[in-house]
Amino acid sequence: MSLDESVVHGSKATVKDLPSIDKLLRLPSVQALVSTHGHTLVAVEARAQVDGLRVQALAGALSPSALAPEALGRSLAGRVAERLAPRLRRVINLTGTVIHTNLGRSVLPQAAIDHLVAMMAGPNNLEYDLASGSRGDRDSIVEGLLCEITGAQAATVVNNNAAAVLLSLAALSGGRESIVSRGELVEIGGAFRMPDVMASAGAQMVEVGTTNRTHLADYERAINERTALLLKVHTSNYAVQGFTSAVSEAELAPLARARGVALVSDLGSGSLIDMAKYGLPQEPTPQQMLAAGCDVVTFSGDKLLGGPQAGLIVGSHECVTRIRKFPMKRALRLSKLPLAALEATLQLYLQPELLVRELPTLRWLTRTQAQVGATASALLTPLQAALAPRYTVTLETMLSQIGSGSLPVDRLPSSGLAIAPVLPGKRGMGSALDALATALRELPLPIIGRIADDRLLLDCRCVDDPAMIVGQLGALRTALVQE
């Protein structure tokens, strides 16, 4: 039976009316799909489409109109497009958390994106020395920059900061003891805990002090002939307040030197600049830790530094050389994509006057409440028009946070929009907010906010261009009407 005939059996199509895969693939619209995407993918989706139609037919729920050539072609095109749609997508972050772990942490500066694209478009000198024409070392791409910026004697990089800590401990401890304060045995996210990292590195962990108070004498008493290093862990993802005491790197350094053990500091968040200079809470920098006498400092590339995911290791020539030559290094090394992005990001630090403009993370962190409020005000009227009469939208002051474990207690004065359902009471409030949050996530460029106190909050701190949101409000209104 021809596909363009109208077949009606009671008003529903049957299994006998289904097209064969061969006939479906010969439709002109489907032939165009094959030309674009190839026979294999289109045929796979055609079979899945017919299988789905068969299930509907057996249930007596298949409309004859679904078997019209135009309908079959459109449906198959939709299936192919959905199959090829990427799982990793760009989103608009209106959560109020600037460095959001679930949303990819720091956003790369344009210079890093441009350099990354240029380097991936053809061969590059990843491990080739252009001057000598011989094999090179990929660390050399960023080692000079890291040493210049931090004042370190040497530097190396791996794929994230957990790897940097793991590798440093494995290379320097050699199965010997590593001393750490009980108050610094943090969990760094995803159930990865410092004791587990130390055990995986083969370091024999020796705890000193208590959860809230550790003294220099505690370290001094614990050092013996089996001690390889003293480990300091910056507790950037929580804060202990009240009756507390901790020993700084500057206090530990003379002890480490006198007893012949290494001093390793894990900074985690990894700011390369004085955050207080920009009106932000202060974070310790690698420069400060090296100046205090640390032999090795590790930190992240995709948090306060504002670059790609990477673990950066800087320190003395002796220690970094041991780390670089350790066999585990090859398994943890940085690939050419993040290495290209990291190089371009670090080059921005040679031009400090440009950082606020060029680094998205720093730009968003340093915005004043008035600047964020101007963005929120530009969105207020368009959003009210799109959501009326089911929701109200009001301009509100808010508090943003830095995120990704950086400065967990501190908040940044911000501004945004609060959306509430128009309902006679509390009943249905949750489902109405969930429906709106879902509709926002299903936009072509998904918008991610947060629900709190029976309202959907859209913090505008990370919005550079309100047009990205305004241009989607028509689609949002349509989606809510069709709900």
In a domain, 384, yes or no: yes
Last residue of a domain, one of 323, 355, 387: 355
Query: Are 117 and 223 within one domain?
Result: yes
Query: Are 395 and 260 within one domain?
Result: no
In a domain, 470, yes or no: yes
Query: Are 159 and 294 within one domain?
Result: yes
Q: Could you tell me the two tokens for 174?
A: 């050699």
Cβ atoms 195, 181 nearer than 8 A: no
In a domain, 10, yes or no: no
In a domain, 2, yes or no: no
- Which value, to the nearest 10 degrees, does the dihedral of the CA atoms of residues 431, 437, 439, 445 take? -170
Query: Are 447 and 348 within one domain?
Result: no
Q: Could you tell me the two tokens for 90?
A: 């760009």
State the pLDDT at residue 481: 84
Query: Are 422 and 456 within one domain?
Result: yes
Alpha helices in 154-274 (DSSP H): 161-173, 194-200, 216-222, 249-259
Interval 372-428: pLDDT, tens: 999 999 999 999 999 999 999 999 999 999 987 656 667 999 999 999 999 988 888
In a domain, 105, yes or no: no
State the pLDDT at residue 9: 44
pTM of the model as a whole: 0.90
Supply the DSSP string of 76-96, one letter for each residue: HHHHHHHHHS-SS---EE-SS
Last residue of a domain, one of 355, 382, 414: 355
With bands split at pLDDT 50, 70 and 90, how would you rate the model's confidence at 124? very high
Query: Are 349 and 292 within one domain?
Result: yes
Amino acid at 221: R
State the pLDDT at residue 270: 83
Last residue of a domain, one of 303, 320, 355: 355
State the pLDDT at residue 5: 44
With bands split at pLDDT 50, 70 and 90, how would you rate the model's confidence at 187? confident
Interval 35-80: pLDDT, tens: 999 999 999 999 999 999 999 999 999 999 999 999 999 999 999 9
What is the average pLDDT across 274-282?
90
Q: Could you tell me the two tokens for 340?
A: 């290209």
Interval 138-150: pLDDT, tens: 999 999 999 999 9
State the pLDDT at residue 409: 63
Q: Is the pLDDT assigned to residue 2 strictly greater than 50?
A: no
In a domain, 340, yes or no: yes
Q: Is 378 exposed, middle or buried (0-12, 13-18, 19+ CB in 10 A)?
A: middle
Cβ atoms 29, 70 nearer than 8 A: yes
Query: Are 373 and 254 within one domain?
Result: no
State the pLDDT at residue 226: 97
Domain holding 50, by residue range, is 15-84
Alpha helices in 18-68 (DSSP H): 21-26, 28-37, 39-58
Q: Is the pLDDT assigned to residue 238 strictly greater than 80?
A: no
Q: Is the pLDDT assigned to residue 236 strictly greater than 70?
A: no
* CA gap 46, 72 in Å, rounded: 9
Query: Are 336 and 451 within one domain?
Result: no
Count of positions (residues) in the chain: 483
Q: Could you tell me the two tokens for 450?
A: 């947060």
In a domain, 189, yes or no: yes
Query: Are 335 and 442 within one domain?
Result: no
246-259 burial, b at 16+ Cβ within 10 Å, e below that, comes to: bbebeebbebbeee
Query: Are 281 and 411 within one domain?
Result: no
Among residues 314, 296, 309, 305, the alpha carbon closest in space to that of 347 is found at 305
* CA gap 44, 390 in Å, rounded: 42
Q: Is 360 exposed, middle or buried (0-12, 13-18, 19+ CB in 10 A)?
A: middle
Q: How many domains does the chain have?
A: 3
In a domain, 153, yes or no: yes
What is the average pLDDT across 229-251?
82
With bands split at pLDDT 50, 70 and 90, how would you rate the model's confidence at 229? very high
**Residue 312, domain CATH:** 3.40.640.10
What is the average pLDDT score of the chain? 93
* CA gap 148, 150 in Å, rounded: 6
Query: Are 141 and 274 within one domain?
Result: yes
Lowest mean pLDDT among 92-96, 364-368, 479-483: 479-483
- Kindly report each contact of residues 281-284 with a partner whose C-beta sits within 8 Å and lies 24 or more positions away, as own/partner: 281/402, 281/407, 281/410, 283/236, 283/406, 283/407, 284/234
Other CB atoms within a 10 A radius of the CB of residue 482 amount to 7
**Residue 390, domain CATH:** 3.90.1150.180
Query: Are 236 and 338 within one domain?
Result: yes
